Structure 1
Amino acid sequence: MSFLFKRNPKTPQEIVRAVNESVIKLDSSVGDSQKKYQDECSRYLKQMKVILIGDDENAPQPDQISYLAQEIYSTDSLYLLIYHLKKLDFDSRKDVQLIFSNLLRRQLANKSPTVDYIINSKPEIILMLLKGPETHSIGLISGQILRDCLKFEIINKFILGNSLFWNFFKYVQIPIFEIATDSFITLHDLLTTHRKLVSEFLNNNYDQFVININKLMQSSNYVTKRQSVRLLSEIILQKYNQNSKYFDEATNLKIIMLILNDKSKNLQIEGFQIFKFFIAKPKKSQKVLDILVKNKENFIAFFKGFDIESYQIPNLVEERDYILGKIQQLPDIERIQ
């Protein structure tokens, strides 16, 4: 924390104001001028980071952190930094992520002042982060900050309630592999971190969710297809979602049957984790039952040859045998005389 020992060191409040001024000047600067303000931002962000987490010589001081945080909130510094994120250099973007993450974890009387500030004063910060994958240079940093935010249920709820959430079903198909992969991590966390919240969300948005996840499961991209099948499987395995009407719809069953028939054994196994619920459900819809009965002999032949012993997945062989037994108990299709 050597900068604190200069003859006229800047206070935490002055550092925040200085970084705000520098980042705003990036808007109208180009060339050497822009580089100058990028360097200034970099220097002040590093000073903010040291106040928050300390360095090799000095531990963070609670009063300095408090002054810094209050100035960040009162001047909307987090908003300014996220708004101008793409104009900062690479190291500064990483510093913004670290500063943001540390502020989120800061607790006062079992509350997170940063979360309260974002939700009550500047939800626009979350909206900007939700659009991060659209700007490839900041997509990964935006994704990391967003995932740090959604660890808090109130922010996860805000995101699920915003129409921008549904864009992630498109972002996961972006041709840039790193951005698509990072977007899928975010989508996964949004739909699995706070399980009861997600269950309520899915009950209220079932049709839109199923349309989107079914599209992904029929993607020509193997990675997209497998990740989406795995995501659906994980959601279904949550106890809050096991009575979903998903298993009453013939369209869903047909898509899972296609996945079971995929040439990839890994995809077949992912598909099986969903298919077993169609079979095991005690009360099946008539449309689903008709398809199962019609394909009974094909299912029996398939599962008798479904060689999965080598995968060493706990209980998988037992589940296969159980499902095969349930299929064999299905009524035979009525044959026309």
Structure 2
Amino acid sequence: MNFFGLGKKKSPSPQELWRLIRSDLEKLEKLDPTAADSKHQIDKLNKDAAERLTQVLSHLPLATDYEDKQLPSDEARDAIVSSMLSDDTLVMIARDLGKYEFEVKRLVSQIFSNLMTAKEEESGKRPALEYVLNHKTLIDHLVAGYEASASGKQPTTVPHVGEMLRACAGYDELVRYVLETGHVYRLIDAVKLQNFDVASDAFVSLREFLVKKKNASAEFIQDHFDEFFDKYWEILNTSNYVTVRQSLKVLSELLLDRTFLRPMLKYVKNEKFLMLHMDQLRNESKAIAFEAFHLFKIFVANPQKPPRVHKILYANRDRIIRFLNQFLVDREEEQFVADKQTILQKLEQLPPPPDSPTQTQAAPATQQPQPQAEAEGASGEPTAPQQQQQQPEGHERPEEQPPAAAAASASSDAPQEAPAAAAEAAVAGSGEAAPETETGGGS
């Protein structure tokens, strides 16, 4: 029997609790997990760390508790937050996450996510944000976690590195860091990995850093246009059906957003992108073809088409119209049907290019096809694509192939025309108003 509390174990203070956690994790770092005599000690250290992390988590409200309101000050919570942000333990955790057992990784990622949402009651400052800004190597370690997990050199840290990384995506300064340091390209590389779990989680993180803070993302893409899209098209050209479909969806989400007006105008000036999306329209996967349509329609809707884009569309106009009349006829969504009718109408009304000798002159037979564009056969119909994305069974090929992306008379040295205005109705039939006038063409 315990009289007057004698013999009762005193709970450690928040500062002492965090010191003990760091001690446990430092000991784990030094142990060899392959050594037989280390197993018992590793198990005990993981168990102790998990118990102490659970106590830490009990002092931190859930991340959702911080949304749209500030919680009253709590001495224990403030003390533990202060302790956690007073040293480089969180950086060490991000670096060594693969060495911990699942429960420790789960608790650490949840604690970090909660920390990133915490803000001071009076000032409104977010101390964890300031911490990460001063310890950016933490983000470096999290991004590297995808590569380490896929390599098999350590136990997987997915989805925990992704959860911690995405907790940083809500802050403009951290998004800019991921973009400008090239980490965004490492995420794209991770999306291409053969490990499905790693690639899938990396794609979720990539999307968050591209769409969550759109001003930062749009500025980066505009300033690094060629480099970014050369890299992004690597995942659009993979053989993975899910990756291609999701990547097209994200690209559409970006280009159809007003924030990305300047990159969008630059994108629709590029005939290579037009031809690639024309190829995708006839993909055996109806889902990929559907997503490609939402990008193709931006080229058609642009009222200030540059010469080479105009010539490609005009030279293939009749074939495009025939193809679209049979395109995904089983989709009855009102918006899609309206979009398709709008694009058909714009194609039917498309005038010949300004420098076209006649309104009906076809492209020279010697015109060289662009990369991945369809080449015309002797019959004038397009040939099959050189490669198709891999997709599940049950997807049928459209009855008619889309038009070849013949370059018409758009020679490689033809002058490029910068649109004087934003793409009129860039979202064809989507109900959005035309964007404001763009005088510089977004170059």
TM-score, scaled to structure 2: 0.70
Deviations 1:161-206 (CA, angstroms, capped at 9, x unpaired): 1122211111111112121111111111111111111111111111
Name the structure 2 match of 1:22. 24
Name the structure 2 match of 1:187. 206
Name the structure 2 match of 1:321. 341
Report the alpha carbon displacement of residue 307 of structure 1 after superposing the two structures with TM.
3.5
Matched, 1:159 2:178: yes
Structure-2 change in CA distance of 1:9 and 1:302 (3 Å) = same
Matched, 1:200 2:214: no
Structure-2 change in CA distance of 1:225 and 1:74 (3 Å) = same
What residue ranges of structure 2 are gaps of 5+ in the alignment?
1-6, 32-37, 63-70, 150-155, 353-358, 364-443
Structure-2 change in CA distance of 1:242 and 1:61 (3 Å) = closer
1: CA distance, partners of 2:331 / 2:256 = 23
The structure whose Rg is larger is 2
Name the structure 2 match of 1:131. 144
1: CA distance, partners of 2:170 / 2:278 = 35
- Is the CA contact 1:50–1:60 (under 8 Å) kept in the aligned structure 2? no
1:116 pairs with one of 120, 130, 135: 130
- Is the CA contact 1:133–1:140 (under 8 Å) kept in the aligned structure 2? no
Matched, 1:45 2:53: yes
The code of the aligned residue for 1:76 comes to D
Report the alpha carbon displacement of residue 80 of structure 1 after superposing the two structures with TM.
2.1
Once the two structures are superposed, the pairs formed by residues 1-337 of structure 1 within 5 Å of their partners are: 6-29=8-31, 30-53=38-61, 62-108=74-120, 109-119=123-133, 121-136=134-149, 137-243=156-262, 244=264, 245-308=266-329, 310-312=331-333, 314-330=334-350, 331=352, 332-335=359-362
Report the alpha carbon displacement of residue 335 of structure 1 after superposing the two structures with TM.
4.6
Q: Report the more deviating stretch, 198-207 or 131-140.
A: 131-140
Deviations 1:246-282 (CA, angstroms, capped at 9, x unpaired): 1111110111001101122211110110001100101
Deviations 1:130-186 (CA, angstroms, capped at 9, x unpaired): 112113210210001111111122211111111222111111111121211111111
1: CA distance, partners of 2:166 / 2:332 = 32
Deviations 1:44-101 (CA, angstroms, capped at 9, x unpaired): 11111122249xxxx9971111111111111222112222211111011110011111
The code of the aligned residue for 2:108 comes to V
Report the alpha carbon displacement of residue 309 of structure 1 after superposing the two structures with TM.
5.3
Equivalent residue of 1:248, what SS?
coil
Name the structure 1 match of 2:3. none
What residue ranges of structure 1 are gaps of 5+ in the alignment?
none
Q: Report the more deviating stretch, 44-53 or 5-14.
A: 5-14
**Identity fraction in percent:** 27
Q: Report the more deviating stretch, 149-158 or 251-260.
A: 149-158
1: CA distance, partners of 2:125 / 2:12 = 29
Name the structure 1 match of 2:399. none
Q: Report the more deviating stretch, 319-328 or 241-250.
A: 241-250
2: CA distance, partners of 1:38 / 1:63 = 28
Structure-2 change in CA distance of 1:212 and 1:116 (3 Å) = same
2: CA distance, partners of 1:143 / 1:16 = 24
- Is the CA contact 1:236–1:242 (under 8 Å) kept in the aligned structure 2? yes
Report the alpha carbon displacement of residue 31 of structure 1 after superposing the two structures with TM.
2.1
